[in-house]
Structure formats: C-alpha cells, structure tokens
Amino acid sequence: MEGIPRLTLFPLTSEVGSGGHLVIGGCDSVELAGEFGTPLYVFDEFTLRRKCAEFKEEFGRRGLETTVIYAAKAFINKALALIVKEEGLGLDVVSGGELGIAHSVGFPLDRVYFHGNNKSAEELRLALDWHVGRIVVDNFYELGMLDRMAGELGSTPDILLRLSPGIDPHTHRYIATGIIDSKFGFPLTRIEEAVEKAVQASCLNPVGLHFHLGSLIYEAEPYRQAIELALSLANEMKRKHGFELEELNIGGGFAIQYSLDSPAPAIAAYAEVIASRIITGCRELGLELPRLTVEPGRAIVGQAGVALYRVGVVKEIPGVRRYVMVDGGMADNIRPALYGAGYEALLANRVVAEEADVVTIAGRFCESGDILIKDIRLPAVSAGDIIAVPDCGAYCLPMGSNYNASLRPAVVLVREGRPRLIRRRETFDDLVRWDLI
C-alpha cells in the first residue's frame, strides 16, 4: 500500500496486482467489472468478518457482558445476514422487511432487535409472533399498542425504551437522532412517564434503555455524556419506580474514514470510553452493571464495500472543469447529493499511475446534482477506465433507487480469489414486474 495512501481506505485485503490493477479479496477488480458488469458493488468477506470480530473483541474485553448487533439498515441481503449470523452478532432491524430478510435465512430471531419510530400494528404483531429478542419502544402510542397486543397473544415481550437524550453528536443534521428536536424516542422531559407506564404495563417486560445519538460520529465524547445521563436517569427511575436497568443499548454511529484528511477513531477507542464510563458511573451510583448492547452498521460494512464504475464520456470545459462521467451515480449512491458526503477514488485499472488531473466524477442521471466526487486528482482518465470508490458498503445500496428507470447494480462477495454473486443485476423485466395495465 506504500505510496498509494488511498488504498488504505479500501477493504483490508486490497492490493495492487499485475498490470497495476486493484485487487480485492484476491480478485482482480477489472476482471470483476468485465465479468459482472458495472456499476458493480464488491464486498470483501474478510473485511466484513474482521469488523464483526473486532467489535466483539473490543467491546467484549472491558468488563461488561456485551452484545453486538449489526444495524441492517446499512446494508442487508440474504448472504450478508448469513455472515452476520455466523459471526455470532445480533441484528437491528427497523422494518418488517428487514425482519423478513432475517427470517428468510433462519437468522435466530431471539438475537433481533426491532426498532422504528412508527412501527405498524402488523409489524409489531409479526415481531411478537416471531418472538424477536427485543422490541425497542419509541413512543407512547407504540407502548400502549404493544401492551394490548401482547395481552391478546398472552406474551410478555422484553422491551427497551428509546430515550432521546438531547445530545448533539456533531454530525450532519439529517443523521443526528438523539437531539432534543427529534422524531425518535422519548424526550428527556417525558421519559419518566414512559418508564412508569412500562413498569406498570401488564404485558411488557422493560429490561432497559436505548439511545442512538446519530450516525458518523467522529468523537467518543457524546457517548460519554449520554451514558452519564442514562445512568443517572436509571438510578432515579429505580428509586422512584423500581425500574431495573438490566441492559443499556448505546446505539451505533461509529465513524469510518471516508477521506484521507478525516481519520476516524479506532473501534477500541470508542469501546474504551463507553465501557469505562458505564463501569465508573455504575460504581458511583451503586448500580449493578447492565449488559451493554452496541449497534454498529457503517463501521461493520462500510469499508468492506467498493463501487466499481466504468467511465464513458469525458467532457472538458476549458478553464472551468473536466467531467468524468460514469455509468452509475445518485441511483446507487445518493449520499453525496443528499448529505454532501465526500468520497475518494482510484483508477482500478491503473492504480500505480501518477496522479495528473483534477476531475469531477459525475453520474449518469438527469440531475445536475448527480456528482459523485467533486475535484479529485486522478491519473489521466479516458473512456473504458474503471473507477473504484471505497467505503461504499454502508447506506449506498439500501438508499438506492431505480431513478431514470435504471437497473440496480449487481453485488459480488469476494474471498480468497473467488467471487460470488450475491445479488444479480436487475433487468428490464424487473422494472415492469409490478406494473399493471
């Protein structure tokens, strides 16, 4: 990787192979693009499994009983759900659909946490019927509905109450979730009422609290603040309402490094602050240590995924800009257009070449805002070259669309030189499958 700093943003197995081609999981990315077509999403199985293991190791060795659950919204399909299952993680699902995917591969549903700020009655019913491990109750409406439904079914689900702690995690405002003005969770000013109702509910078993501060959080400090707040709240609720904090779920939000100038803390650094604050806080308050649950999404799957695009048109506007147009864009990765998210890239078919020109990588969709990367220095690019964008494993495909009636890309899992197609590219038939005339 020496001499090519951007390679460090790619999956852990990435290297430069013969002919200067980018190799991921032992597979030549240019050959993958040829065989499976572009845009292509390539996931490196080693990186995926390594990140799962790292979360378990780092959070598991700090004196707290810890459960790591993967936030499926970052990206889930059958193959991925099976990997997460094999690695012994649980799953955070946020819809009946995600729950259905887990169910379809026999994911142990007692390791599933069901989230959502507006779960439907049908979804809650499914969660009860399938005995999911935890339902994370978000609001009073859900609390009442779940208690009634559980009563009808004669069950007593384990629930967590989602607290919105009013802490700013210093991230993009669209992905800050634990602030005061948030649609998620019980506001601090009403959490006591929620605890009281949950404790008194005849068919609910409140086992703890949950918060999720937001996503792409580059500091550990907001977690520390939120933990202090949650523990002192738990202490008060224990005294007043006999509420026992058996489990504290601190959500996800752990950042990854998208660009060379914005390094993210190591998983160990988050784990140290979070675990030590819980242990010290409980000691100070005389509380029993709760079990800890963490819900990483991006930090498990982000670095494992690479998007490959083929260059078509290169358009020069003298003195203004050189546009390099690729065969994907905002339909497979809306993040730059939606959040102004920044990405790096390499030329997959000429990784070692000198960087020469500053170009702008534009997508193929009918929006001027469909720009994947503004102003990036790359070797001279021409039609047919393959652009590889790292850190595309999280939130690209699940937020993807069929905009301009485009076909959603294929997804390939690579491992030790063998590619495995884990989602086929859509076809024109897929586009009209649901249409009736």
| DSSP, res 404 | G
Q: Report the residue number, 186 or 254, with the smaller CB distance to ligand LLP.
A: 254
Two tokens, residue 400: 């993807």
What is the per-residue DSSP string for 251-306? ---B----STT-----HHHHHHHHHHHHHHHHHHHTPPPPEEEE--SHHHHTTTEE
Burial 157-188 (b: 16+ CB within 10 A, else e): bbbbbbbbbbbebebeeebbbbbeebebbbbe
Q: Report the residue number, 71 or 387, with the smaller CB distance to ligand LLP.
A: 71
Whether the Cβ atoms of residue 39 and residue 332 lie closer than 8 Å to each other: yes
Two tokens, residue 120: 């439907």
Two tokens, residue 144: 């009442």
Two tokens, residue 361: 């990588």
Min dist CB 2 to ligand LLP, Å, is 31
d(CA 299, CA 303): 7
What distance, in Å, lies between the first and last C-alpha atoms of the chain?
A: 55
Q: Report the residue number, 323 or 339, with the smaller CB distance to ligand LLP.
A: 339
Whether the Cβ atoms of residue 325 and residue 353 lie closer than 8 Å to each other: no
Min dist CB 392 to ligand LLP, Å, is 11
Min dist CB 151 to ligand LLP, Å, is 26
Q: Report the residue number, 143 or 351, with the smaller CB distance to ligand LLP.
A: 143
Sign for the pseudo-dihedral over CA of 34, 35, 37, 38: negative
Min dist CB 171 to ligand LLP, Å, is 8
Q: What are phi and psi of 105, to 5 degrees?
A: -110, 15
Residues that bind ligand LLP (CB under 6 A): 71, 73-74, 92, 115, 175, 177, 212, 215-216, 251-254, 295-299, 335, 394-395, 399
Q: Report the residue number, 39 or 379, with the smaller CB distance to ligand LLP.
A: 39
Min dist CB 58 to ligand LLP, Å, is 14
Min dist CB 209 to ligand LLP, Å, is 13
Two tokens, residue 69: 């659950």
Name the residue among 128, 89, 95, 71 with its Cα closest to residue 394.
Answer: 71
Q: What does each C-alpha distance from 169 to 162, 223, 255, 299, 383 come to in angstroms?
A: 17, 8, 11, 16, 42
Catalytic residue, candidates 282, 366, 392, 396: 366
Sign for the pseudo-dihedral over CA of 54, 207, 226, 211: positive
As a residue count, the chain comes to 437
Two tokens, residue 318: 């003298």
User: For residue 39, is the peptide bond before it cis, meaning its omega torsion is within 30 degrees of 0?
Assistant: yes
Q: Report the residue number, 243 or 258, with the smaller CB distance to ligand LLP.
A: 258
Residue type (1 letter), 50: R
> Is 366 marked active-site?
yes
Residue type (1 letter), 95: S
Min dist CB 433 to ligand LLP, Å, is 26
Coil vs helix vs strand at 50: helix
Coil vs helix vs strand at 24: strand
Min dist CB 298 to ligand LLP, Å, is 4
Q: Report the residue number, 71 or 233, with the smaller CB distance to ligand LLP.
A: 71
Q: Report the residue number, 23 or 250, with the smaller CB distance to ligand LLP.
A: 250
Catalytic residues: 366
